[in-house]
Structure 1
Amino acid sequence: MSHVEMPAAPQIPGTRKRRRWGGLRQQWKLLGLFQIDEQHDFYSLTCMMKEGLAAALQPTMETAPTDEVSDDDFRSEVTRVHEDFTMETFAGPVFARLRSSLGLTEHEYQQSLCSHSCYLQFISNSKSKADFFLTNDKRFFLKTQNKREIRFLLANLKIYMEHLKKYPHSLLVKFLGVHRINIPLKLKKHFIVMQSVFYPDDRISARYDIKGCEVSRWTEPVPEGSPIIVVLKDLNFEGQCITLDQQRPWLLQQVEIDTRFLQRLNVLDYSLLLAHQNLQHDERHQNLSLATLIMRTKKSVNIGSSPAHTEVAAVPGAVPEDEPTSPVPGPDDSGCWLQPRAGAADKMPEFRAQNRRLLPDLKNPLHVIDGPEQRYFIGIIDIFTVYSFRKRLEHLWKRLRHPGRSFSTVSPRAYSTRLCRWVQNHSK
């Protein structure tokens, strides 16, 4: 896929502001990827991000992560001073442990984030005010977040880790780092690093952001063959189907497990990212071979299953009908979140052992599912919107404005149920 580069402009002080806004208007009109070169307004910021991340990762580059995480690790805040800025890293040992459990080495993580190649800016059609950056190899997203969202993630990090440990094939986005960059007298930005669900993307033919509703869920497609990337929405997907055959039961159950977890976090407005590409002949042949070699067991879906019930399923991805689900920690009567049982999130060797991959040769196997004819990229993102009093008022207002139509702002229980129903109705 070709990239659209921002054109260079003369450095005339009187026209700089006009050039910036003209460039932004052009970007908003042509949604897609833009290389952050020396003429880009974010070039200086992204260079600082790279420098700060390289220094922040150096300790874990030199020392392998241990198999234990402590309460202090979850509360860890490390500040490193650079010439023009400071960089804070939050819960660094915890995220290093998570990266290790996903089979991601610190060397390749740093190599991708801190290479000499320019970051890419993704201009989203989302209503979010966040800035999206993508590493040049498109493997990792860096997204700015507000302070409230960062506090929410760090406050629930133990529960998130417990969920990923219990369900190693979870479709939830994998958060790999939380940082804050502070440029004196200029700005202070929090940002997170995530795995890109759509990786590798060189053959993806279409991308969708699914919320399971209809209001404002249509995006005008770009002409066929255009290099511009547009993420389509629910109404664009109508008439299509996710064809998985034997793996469909696993997908339905994992979506239910993940959305139930988000329901208990009292969040809504998250998205199911979906993309697809045609399978080539050798990939179809590989799937037939893997069907006899790589099996998901009940324990790979639920760590709490008894060892007596770990026989392999008949096909990769199949989930037995009687698969139990364990309750997810939730808030007590005072509104405080209950912590998972002591040491549960620390058993990373078990996490690694159970993280069986259906497509072990891929670098993003946890978000890739192959059907008979197509490869699908599936993940759940944007999990920070709490069902607050303001959101309840927004729900009432939208009920009046859109009578009889489905819209995004509903209770977490209704949101979870609706998204599960969408996957069930659009898969076979």
Structure 2
Amino acid sequence: MSLEIFLKGDVYYGNVKGMIPHGKGKYTWSDGTVYEGSWKKGKMTGGGKITWTSGTTYEGEFCGGYLDGFGTLTNPDGSTYIGSWRMNIQHGLGRKQYSNSDVYDGSWKEGVREGSGKYGWCNGDMYIGNWKGGLMCGRGVMKWLNSDLFDGYWLNGYRHGSGVYRFADGSYYFGTWTKGLKDGRGMFYPGGSIRCPSSKRLGKKKRSINRSLSDKISINGFFKELGRISSKRISTGGSVREFNTDILSYTSDEGESVDDDVGESVDDKSIVVCEREYIQGVLISERIKNNAGVLYKKEEQRKFHMKEVERKSSLDIFEGYKSSYLMLNLQLGIRYTVGKITPVPMREVRYSDFGEQSRIRMYFPRKGSQLTPPHSSIDFYWKDYCSMVFRNLREMFKLDAADYMMSICGDDGLRELSSQGKSGSLFYLSHDDRFVIKTLKKSELKVLLNMLPSYYKHVHAHDNTLITKFYGLHQITLRVGKKVQFVVMGNMFYTELQIHQRYDLKGSYHGRNTNKDDIEVGTTLKDLDLSYDFHMDKSLRDALFKQIKLDCIFLGSQRIIDYSLLLGLHFRAPEHLKSLLEPPDVFHKPQKTPGPLSPLDHSIPPKGLLLVTHEPSSVNTEPGPHSRGSTLRAFSVGDKEVDLLLPGTARLRVQLGVNMPAHANHKVSHDISGSTEVELYEVYDVVLYLGIIDILQEYNTRKKIEYAYKSTRHDPMSISVADPKFYSKRFFNFLEKG
């Protein structure tokens, strides 16, 4: 039945059901917008075409009055989008051609580029890889018009992580980047020194990227790079249903390491290669090597203070079982536990939620079961301790369950690390550096279980606590009976900034120094190696020591010793960066100068850093896994909450132990007459990251015997092991006064 209806100036002509459009029909609104197509119960549903008064048109599928399904949107400015829609928003696979002739072909989510996709700029540049939130993020390849190419990892539109840069002349640079700038060690190979991998993935997919050739000839002096690749903002547009298959097939390469693209060395021993080191894009050192037998070994500057394990095969943990099995078992178990506990409604923890008897147990046979998936590891039993407690802790630390699982259990997996300490523990690091997983001794497991009720109360009462954040406690048992315990913790050095130096400070001085021959980039130094005094804003320092004192009181009440302050330094003084590569001259001498965290006599803001009034809209207000506390107030800006402004880099939220600005004073002696020395100070602007770690050593009988023995051979004040109350007082005084 056809009918013409007039409703408040609108006109409809077509099929109806009752007095409601139903079937085929044309509707003209009073403002001039026209829709012609299918209707169902008064709503646009099925195929149709709508034209707005602005000139924008959409032709495709509708559902319930929304653009929903597959269709083409054409804008008056010439931009088009052809692809999938969900409730008026681009969602799924689609191609967008922008008004300036840029083209994106790939996956969309809620109106922005997300997933695998290909973006071609009108100037000829091209990116193929992963996207998130409209920006290049994850593994991807950038190709520039001049045939330069970058293949590696990206974050928020910047090169970030490991990668390989191929220049148009055939030269290569293998290394790491931080927010678009080279950071850490890498190797530069002149053209012809290695075989081009174009015969495999690079040539097949025709990947390349743009970079000034001056980048590879800046051997002497400091030469900064341009960092970010321009990214276009999304607007509505259209394309075609036949999408480029290169985009989707690219995802099969994501799991491959950049080292696979390296190829083999040529036999010409006269070719030289350059080993370079950068800090924030500044070339600070370079060594030229003969290429005879030299192959590039990837060296990533990790945020965490560990070295990657280098062994002939996967580390044998026990009786021939590989470490890779344990990593897979961990992922399977954590995925199972978090998936099981997350749907349970939130509630306050009870007495029965604590203790060794509160646990989830599951058997994971290799062939799978009704509750567990098949896997490529060995049969194992999984035990998760105090699941509801750790679930509440993760919520308390504002950690999303999905993010937690994806970080630890995602396809990128875990990285195996070896400890620099004496514990002999194994460490794993999540692929995004957010979480550290450490093996525990049985005694440490018991300490944590006994401490957990008090720990829960302490972190609940003190948002700004500096004590290690624990996220899970697990045990893996093989069928042969061997057991391995693990704890999941936050990485205190999870930050966008490079950690240039790191210290483990206990407040004692016997044996608390590092052999000069053992010091490398990334080495964690000790108390006697620290040659800096740190001067901070008065309010920031007061808040810091108030919390350190509260944390020390808590640890003392639990009879915990051997804990330390893990301190990371990010330097903001490029003209002095060369000195950071050399160990200070004051090693092995007890520090009798003012303490490492001294107050400013007058509240003077750092010269190269700027404290500005906190603006939540300008910074990421979500805390990392190392913090969850409030934004700090600074005396120097009128006791207001502050952000840290890093010129040319970022604006960061200042929290306790995170993004804390300071002056680092380093005393040097200057001989002015052959016999007279004048004390001078080098002053650096630094950003501090710190927290209290290693809190699972109880002052038990074994430690009492150790103290009795060592105190007869050394000054009792100098040795690390001590009564908990004395240890706490010495630790606090060292940090406060020296």
TM-score (norm 2): 0.43
The corresponding residue for 1:423 is 735
Please tell me whether the aligned partners of residues 247 and 318 of structure 1 are also in contact (alpha carbons under 8 angstroms): no
Deviation at 1:402, TM superposition (A): 1.3
The corresponding residue for 2:324 is 43
Q: Distance in 1 between matches of 2:394 and 2:512?
A: 34
The correspondence for 1:268, drawn from 561, 584, 589, is 561
Q: Distance in 2 between matches of 1:365 and 1:88?
A: 35
Please tell me whether the aligned partners of residues 291 and 316 of structure 1 are also in contact (alpha carbons under 8 angstroms): no
Q: Distance in 1 between matches of 2:507 and 2:478?
A: 40
The correspondence for 1:122, drawn from 398, 417, 427, is 417
The correspondence for 2:477, drawn from 168, 182, 195, is 182
Please tell me whether the aligned partners of residues 131 and 144 of structure 1 are also in contact (alpha carbons under 8 angstroms): yes
Larger strand share, 1 or 2: 2
Deviation at 1:32, TM superposition (A): 3.9
Equivalent position SS for 2:384? strand
Matched, 1:66 2:346: yes
- Identify the range of structure 1 (267-276 vs 417-426) with the bigger mean alpha-carbon deviation: 417-426
Deviation sequence 1:287-312 (CA, Å, 0-9, x none): 31229999xxxxxxxxxxxxxxxxx9
Matched, 1:137 2:417: no
Q: Distance in 1 between matches of 2:386 and 2:545?
A: 32
Please tell me whether the aligned partners of residues 142 and 193 of structure 1 are also in contact (alpha carbons under 8 angstroms): yes
The correspondence for 2:450, drawn from 155, 158, 176, is 155
Q: Distance in 2 between matches of 1:99 and 1:182?
A: 25
Deviation at 1:216, TM superposition (A): 1.4
Considering only aligned residues, what root-mean-square deviation do their CA atoms show, in Å? 3.8
Equivalent position SS for 1:410? coil
The corresponding residue for 1:289 is 613
Matched, 1:80 2:354: no
Deviation at 1:238, TM superposition (A): 3.1
Q: Distance in 1 between matches of 2:637 and 2:461?
A: 16
The corresponding residue for 2:661 is 371
Deviation at 1:130, TM superposition (A): 1.6
Deviation sequence 1:393-425 (CA, Å, 0-9, x none): 211211121137611011111110111111112
The amino acid that maps onto 1:370 is M
Equivalent position SS for 2:735? helix
The amino acid that maps onto 1:263 is G
Q: Distance in 1 between matches of 2:311 and 2:500?
A: 27
The corresponding residue for 1:402 is 714
Please tell me whether the aligned partners of residues 474 and 487 of structure 2 are also in contact (alpha carbons under 8 angstroms): yes
Equivalent position SS for 2:425? coil
Q: Distance in 2 between matches of 1:357 and 1:35?
A: 40
Deviation sequence 1:211-244 (CA, Å, 0-9, x none): 00111111246899x6x53111111113442534
Larger helix share, 1 or 2: 1
Please tell me whether the aligned partners of residues 270 and 381 of structure 1 are also in contact (alpha carbons under 8 angstroms): yes
Could you tell me the percent identity over the aligned residues?
27
Q: Distance in 2 between matches of 1:270 and 1:123?
A: 20
The amino acid that maps onto 2:661 is G
User: Greater RCO between the two (CA within 8 Å, min separation 6)?
Assistant: 1
Tell me: CA distance 1:313–1:363, structure 2 relative to 1, closer, same or farther (3 Å).
closer
The amino acid that maps onto 2:362 is R
The amino acid that maps onto 2:567 is L
Matched, 1:92 2:364: no
Matched, 1:277 2:585: no
The corresponding residue for 2:693 is 381
Deviation sequence 1:136-190 (CA, Å, 0-9, x none): 2111111111222212211221111111111110111011100001111162111
Q: Distance in 2 between matches of 1:85 and 1:318?
A: 58
Deviation sequence 1:365-412 (CA, Å, 0-9, x none): 554141253221111111122212221221121112113761101111
The corresponding residue for 1:56 is 337
Please tell me whether the aligned partners of residues 199 and 364 of structure 1 are also in contact (alpha carbons under 8 angstroms): no
Q: Distance in 1 between matches of 2:527 and 2:659?
A: 20
Tell me: CA distance 1:414–1:422, structure 2 relative to 1, closer, same or farther (3 Å).
same
Deviation sequence 1:265-290 (CA, Å, 0-9, x none): 111111111111135999944x3122
Choose 1 or 2 for highest CA Rg: 2
The amino acid that maps onto 1:268 is I
Deviation at 1:197, TM superposition (A): 1.2
Equivalent position SS for 2:340? helix
- Identify the range of structure 1 (180-189 vs 242-251) with the bigger mean alpha-carbon deviation: 242-251
Tell me: CA distance 1:406–1:255, structure 2 relative to 1, closer, same or farther (3 Å).
same
The amino acid that maps onto 1:267 is I
Matched, 1:209 2:504: yes
Q: Distance in 2 between matches of 1:117 and 1:154?
A: 31
